[in-house]
Amino acid sequence: MIKALVCGAGGFIGSHLVRRLKNEGCWVRGADLKYPEFSKTAADEFLLLDLREEKNCRAAVRLGKSETFDEVYQLAADMGGMGFIHSAECEIMRNSALINIHMVDSAANAAVKRYFFSSSACVYRDMKPKEPELSEEEAYPALPDNEYGWEKLYTERLVMTYGRRHGLAARIARFQNCYGPEGTWQGGREKAPAALCRKIAQAEDGGTIEVWGKGTALRAYTYIDDMIEGIILLMHSDLENGVNIGRQEYVSVDELVQTIAAVAGKKIHMKHVAGPVGVKARNFRNDRITSIGWKSKCSLRDGIARTYPWIKAQVEANRDQASLS
Ligand code: NAD
């Protein structure tokens, strides 16, 4: 039986990944600062650990005598949407780097066989709308738009060095925006799809929501099930260096709002206000991930149709709780 450790198992992608690994018949240990917020973990064992500390990373990878994890999935990060990325630069640079430095070193010392790191499309420079697709190598010469991207790029290189020296099969995914049920939807760390679903769930039919920026920034959004499929395929492949994972369905922020409003069955007006938006456009090749059989199955419309009802239910449950207290 494959033994897998998922770091960041209390978070959005990590908790879905644990569920998938369990369905595949693995024995799974989760590690995180917190348990998953929205459902019980599917992990066989869950350790509450601050992975910024070396001794906790060593504990996370420790199994019984002469046993080692076959796979470590490292998704723990101090992270959030654009609002958080722009306001918490020091925390991102310090906390995520500490986690990554200690985790890969601990995994290599414990003779772990395969190591997955969740990098991000934020490693790339800003792009102009309609610019041709960037391949993975075109992350260099490097000019990420924010510190979160620089930390990811540094860690990609860190993980590759451990791969070379220790014979660790290092697999690095560069995720585009990922969304779905059981992701952070309020509190300042939520990403655009969740924040906009929340605002629309809170708005009256015919109401107005505030949208950061001019609404023209182009992004692709990948549904959680597609992302998990990509993680599993990449981890078990021979692909080295960074690999883009993302659906190639690029929409503006205004189009994202219109898609959510259509799913919600509401007429929504937008008021564009100043706010952190990030890069102007994205457009990436994904021939590396498709070469190992990955294909996005969930359109933006279908993914929002699965996500919006969940966020609406959270908004309503919160409203009921507030009215009771
Ligand atoms: P998330 O915030 O839901 O999950 C991250 C988890 O890391 C959280 O549960 C958090 O508690 C945990 N964590 C933070 N600091 C920790 C510490 N010191 N010790 C132990 N655990 C700690 O985020 P997510 O959306 O699930 O993202 C998972 C990974 O994917 C992250 O590395 C993120 O940078 C990357 N990523 C995500 C997206 C996306 O759109 N969600 C896009 C690109 C990359």
What average pLDDT does the structure give for the chain? 96
**Number of neighbouring beta carbons within 10 Å of residue 144:** 20
- Closest by Cα among 76, 118, 119 to 95: 76
Reported as a pLDDT band with limits 50, 70 and 90, residue 85 is: confident
Q: What is the pLDDT of residue 66?
A: 85
What is the atom index within ligand 1 of the atom nearest the CA of 9?
A: 9
Question: Any catalytic annotation for residue 148?
Answer: yes
90-106 per-position pLDDT tens digit: 999 999 999 999 999 99
Distance from Cα 113 to the centre of ligand 1, integer Å: 22
Distance from Cα 266 to the centre of ligand 1, integer Å: 32
Q: What is the pLDDT of residue 324?
A: 73
> Is 10's C-beta closer than 6 angstroms to any atom of ligand 1?
yes
Q: What is the pLDDT of residue 70?
A: 98
Q: Please state whether the predicted TM-score (pTM) of the whole model is above 0.85.
A: yes
Residue 304 has pLDDT above 90, yes or no: yes
> Is 245's C-beta closer than 6 angstroms to any atom of ligand 1?
no
Distance from Cα 163 to the centre of ligand 1, integer Å: 22
105/315 Cα distance (integer angstroms): 41
Domains in the chain, CATH or no CATH each? 3-178+222-245 (3.40.50.720), 180-220+249-283+298-313 (3.90.25.10)
**Number of neighbouring beta carbons within 10 Å of residue 11:** 26
Contacts of 211 (CB under 8 A, 6+ apart): 196, 253, 254, 257, 270, 271, 272, 273
> Is 32's C-beta closer than 6 angstroms to any atom of ligand 1?
yes
Pocket test for ligand 1, best of 12, 20, 100, 247 (most atoms within 8 A of CB): 12
152/97 Cα distance (integer angstroms): 8
What is the atom index within ligand 1 of the atom nearest the CA of 80?
A: 2
Pocket test for ligand 1, best of 20, 75, 155, 177 (most atoms within 8 A of CB): 75
Q: What is the pLDDT of residue 62?
A: 97
> Is 120's C-beta closer than 6 angstroms to any atom of ligand 1?
yes
Q: What is the pLDDT of residue 91?
A: 94
147-174 per-position pLDDT tens digit: 999 999 999 999 999 999 999 999 999 9
221-264 per-position pLDDT tens digit: 999 999 999 999 999 999 999 999 999 999 999 999 999 999 99
Catalytic-labelled residue, pool 73, 115, 124, 148: 148
Q: Residue 248 burial (CB < 10 Å; 0-12/13-18/19+)?
A: middle
> Is 187's C-beta closer than 6 angstroms to any atom of ligand 1?
no
What is the atom index within ligand 1 of the atom nearest the CA of 34?
A: 11
